[in-house]
Amino acid sequence: MVQPKARDGTASTRKITFYVALALFAQESTWNFYDNQVPALLREHVTSAAVIGLLMGADNLLGIFVQPWIGNRSDNTRTRWGRRMPYIAAGMPLAALVFLLLPWAPSLPALVAVMFLYALIANSTRPLAESLVPDFIRPERRSRATAAVKIATSLTIIVASLISLLVVDRHPRGAFVIPAALMLLATAVLVAKVRDSRSAAYQAALAEDATAARAGTPADAKVPFRHVLTELLRDPDRRRLLLLLTILLFGGAWFASRSLITSYGMQALGLTRGEAGGLTLPSGVAYLLACYPAALAAERFGRLRTMAAGMAVFAAALAAGSLVQTATGTVVVFCVAAAGAAAFTINAIVALWNLAPSSRVLGAYTGLYTVTWYLGGFGGPALIGAVVDLTGWSGMLLDIAVLATLAGLVLGRLQRLQRRHAETPATT
C-alpha cells in the first residue's frame, strides 16, 4: 500500500518517535519512582525483606500475562482513533490516578491492593506505546526510533532519583504527584497529536481484514493470541523462535551482569557496599552514548550482524574482566560491555517486529519480546548465582560471558537461516 509522502518523511518519523519517547518516558518515570519509593511504604507495614521483595517483583510476574494479552487485544481493535490510542488514552490517566493513591494506603492490605491495581493498569499500557514504532515507522528506520526511546527511558532513572533526593524527605506524599503529572501531560500530548488509525501498519491491517472478508472468512479479522502462539510454534521457519531464544539468553546475561555486580565487587574485589554499587554508573553513560550509533550501524551493516557484533563485544569484555580484577579494570570492562549490549537491545525488538508475519500481530510481538526479555532477567541472575555458589565469585564475569556466547551461537544459527531466506540486511 502506498502511503502519503508526508507520513513516510523524515519529519513525520521524528514526530512519532518524539511522541512514543514522551509516552514511555512518562510511564517509566512512574515505574522507576515506584521501584525507589514503594519499598519504603511497605517497610511501614512489614519488616521482612523477603516479603517486600516478593511484593515488589509481583508487577513483573503480572506483566508476563498482561502484556502479550493487551498487545494482542489492541491488534484486534478497530476504531477511528486506531487500535493503540483508545487504550493509551484511557489507561495512562487511570494509572496516574491510582499511582497517586499509593502513599495514602492506610494498611498493608490496602497498599497491596493499590499496588496490584497500578501494576495491572500500567502493564496494560506498557507495550502499546512501544508498538506505535512499527505501526508508523518503516522497517529500515525503526532502529533509530528505538534508540531514541531507549535513551528517553534510561533517563527516567535520573528523574526518579532526583525526585527522591530533592522532594521525598519534605513531601513524601506530594512527591508522587510529579511522576503522575508527567503521565497526564504525556497523555494529553498523545491524545492531541497521535491517531494510529493513520499509520501504515493499521491501514495494512485493514487491507488484510478486507481480503479475509472477500474470501468469506471475516472471522480471520481477529487473531486470538493462542493463534499467534500456535503459528509461531508450528511454522517450519524457525527464525522467530531462534530470535526469541537469543533474547532470552542474552537477557539473562545482561540482567546477571547488572544485578550481581554489587556482590561481585564486595566479594571478589574487596570493595565496600557503596563502592561496589557505583561500579556500573559509568557504564550507564556508555550505554546511552552507544544507542544511536548502534542504530546507524544496523542500517549500514544489518541488524543481525550488528547484534552479533555487540554480543561478541559484551562477552569478550566480561571475559577480559575476569583476568583484570580491579575496580578500575571492572569499570572499563563494564563500559565496553554496555556499549556492546546496546547494539543488541536497540535492534532485537526491531528484528522481531520485522519478522512478524502480519501487521495485525505487531502488538502481540511487542508483548512477546517484553516477556522473553524479562524471563531472561528472572532466570539469568538465578543461573549465574547458582554457578557462583559452585565455583566462587572470582569467575562470575566469565560465567556471564559464557552465557552471552551461548546466545551468540543461537544468533549465528539464525543468521544462517536468514541467509537462506535471502532477506536484505536493511529489513531484518
Question: Domain check: are 157 and 128 in the same one?
Answer: yes
Question: Domain check: are 281 and 182 in the same one?
Answer: no
**Long-range contacts for 384-393 (Cβ within 8 Å, ≥24 apart)?**
384/252, 384/256, 384/260, 385/256, 385/260, 388/260, 393/263, 393/264, 393/267, 393/268
**Predicted local distance difference test score (pLDDT) of residue 426:** 47
Phi and psi dihedrals of 126, rounded to 5?
Answer: -55, -55
- The neighbour count for residue 69, using CB atoms within 10 Å, is 16
**Predicted local distance difference test score (pLDDT) of residue 250:** 96
Is residue 219 a part of any domain in this protein? no
pTM of the model: 0.83
Is residue 220 a part of any domain in this protein? no
Question: Domain check: are 193 and 170 in the same one?
Answer: yes
Question: Domain check: are 295 and 175 in the same one?
Answer: no
Q: Which residues form the domain of 248?
A: 225-427
Question: Domain check: are 123 and 253 in the same one?
Answer: no
pLDDT means over runs of 10, the chain (428 residues): 45 84 89 80 80 74 86 88 91 94 92 93 88 87 87 79 78 90 93 87 83 63 82 90 96 87 86 78 86 91 94 96 90 93 94 89 90 86 88 92 96 91 54
Q: Rounded distance, CA 28 to CA 140, Å?
A: 26
**Predicted local distance difference test score (pLDDT) of residue 8:** 46
Is residue 83 a part of any domain in this protein? yes
Is residue 218 a part of any domain in this protein? no
Question: Domain check: are 133 and 32 in the same one?
Answer: yes
Question: Domain check: are 312 and 408 in the same one?
Answer: yes
**Predicted local distance difference test score (pLDDT) of residue 218:** 55
Of 211, 241, 263, which residue is a domain's last?
Answer: 211
Contact between 291 and 346 (Cβ < 8 Å): yes
Question: Domain check: are 151 and 237 in the same one?
Answer: no
How many structural domains are present in the chain? 2
Question: Domain check: are 65 and 184 in the same one?
Answer: yes
CATH number of the domain residue 341 falls in:
1.20.1250.20
